[in-house]
Amino acid sequence: MNQSSQVKPSDPFTFSRTGHTVKNRSVLAAMTNKQSHEDGLLSEQEIRWLSRRAEGGFGIITTAATNVSKDGKGWEGEFGLYDDRYIDRLIELTRSVHYNDCLIFAQLFHGGMRSPESLTGKVPISASKVPCKESSSGYTRKASDQKIKTIIEDFTLSADRCFRAGFDGIELHGAHGYLISQFLGKKTNLRNDSWGGDIKGRSKFLINILRSIKKSIPKSFIVGVRISPEIEELGITLDDSLDLAKILRDEGIDFLHISCWDSFKRANQYPDDPKTLTEWFTNTISDLPPVISTGGIWSSIDAKNVIDQGADLIGVARAGIPYPDWGKNIQKENYDPPRPPFTARQLSDADLGDVFIDYMRNWKGFVNNE
């Protein structure tokens, strides 16, 4: 957690454990873009999309969520990490990003109940047997002890592939309703064994993934976690997320990424308290690891506001889509680029492929249907 109101978005940042230095505080957050190949191979279009943001001055580039298990695929056009044959193309990506003096993280995930049976050919798996729209039976499969251990190994092997491909680190995707967050949620984790119960039990899956990766990968490799502070439909509460942050701190993670959707809103659990979601973490927990906060950040004023909330790094998603130079321009004191909608031509000029542009049409008001 940063300690000074004098910190600026343009200031460099150093990860204390590994010594990696970031040239500024901007982080391109992971974004679904559906631009890769159906067999899981990273496409040239997706490499170009990420490399263009590295050229544009971002300090850290994060890939889209990439599945660690073949049956953990979440959507069409998602690149995979579950096979060594993907490494050569990943090396192309990391070299391109590093050429621009930029760090790169891969976001590792398993879709769990959000891995459609129509894509994987298997009934989706989750912490417990719960209703599931993506399953032909209407329910998930409850993960057995052996299946849990297999998925933990899948995460570990995928992290190793990232290391061998030249990534600076990984982000474990424990947010947005995917498998790790399904284990964290009271409504999706109904287990009465050691993988369930209180937050200590419900976080065991995530903690075992962390420990397995850290045991297998050199200490120079950055390992962080992204979480959603509140997900009502999964039963994830702010109180549990604060306790989880303390557990993760004690495990020695290199960063905690708080996925707020709106970095300026109050907590649903405590609507009368003026603290933002980020401030609930930075103001109430001591000795936090470095914090990335993401959600609704668009201008230099927004970025400085999030830094002043105690975040060390500024996560940006939607603003980085039309503005590949956002990381460079955020250093300007009054940078406030126009908001949506954008034309397809504008997005194409920002190195989005046709598939990505079509996907963004699902976000109401983002693409101008000229």
Determine the pLDDT at residue 1. 57
Which of helix, strand or coil describes residue 10? coil
Is 350 part of a structural domain of the chain? Answer: no
Quick one: pLDDT at residue 370? 65
Q: Is residue 361 part of a domain?
A: no
User: What confidence score (pLDDT) does residue 369 get?
Assistant: 77
Q: Which of 213, 212, 211, 207 shows the shortest CA–CA distance to 227?
A: 207
Per the structure, the count of domains in the chain is 1
Q: What is the pLDDT along the chain (370 residues), one digit of tens a residue?
A: 565 568 999 999 999 999 999 999 999 999 999 999 999 999 999 999 999 999 999 999 999 999 999 999 999 999 999 999 999 999 999 999 999 999 999 999 999 999 999 999 999 999 999 999 999 999 999 999 999 999 999 999 999 999 999 999 999 999 999 999 999 999 999 999 999 999 999 999 999 999 999 999 999 999 999 999 999 999 999 999 999 999 999 999 999 999 999 999 999 999 999 999 999 999 999 999 999 999 999 999 999 999 999 999 999 999 999 999 999 999 898 999 999 999 999 999 999 999 999 999 999 999 997 6
Count of beta carbons in the 10 Å neighbourhood of residue 38: 10
The identity of residue 296, as a single letter, is: G
How, if at all, do strands 26-28 and 103-109 pair?
Answer: unpaired
The domain of 215 spans 13-339
Judge whether 50 lies within some domain: yes
Indicate which CATH number applies to the domain containing 324.
Answer: 3.20.20.70
pTM above 0.75, yes or no: yes
The answer to whether residue 4 is domain-embedded is no
**Half-sphere exposure for 79 (CA within 13 Å, toward CB):** 26
Tokens 């400085």, residue located: 304
Helix (H) or strand (E) holding 307: helix 300-308
Determine the Cα–Cα distance for residues 207 and 227; give it in Å rounded to an integer.
13
| Residue at 364 is within a domain | no
Cβ–Cβ < 8 Å for 148, 141:
no
> Is 362 domain-assigned?
no
In angstroms, the Cα distances linking 286 to 13, 48, 91, 114, 242 are: 19, 40, 38, 34, 11
Tokens describing residue 71: 């049956």
Q: Looking at residue 2, what is its pLDDT?
A: 62
- For the beta carbon of residue 233, count every other beta carbon within 10 angstroms: 9
363 found inside a domain:
no
Residues 151 and 182: beta-carbon distance below 8 Å:
no
55 contacts 23 by C-beta, under 8 angstroms:
no
Is residue 32 one of the residues assigned to a domain?
yes
Q: What is the pLDDT of residue 279?
A: 98
Q: What is the pLDDT of residue 4?
A: 55
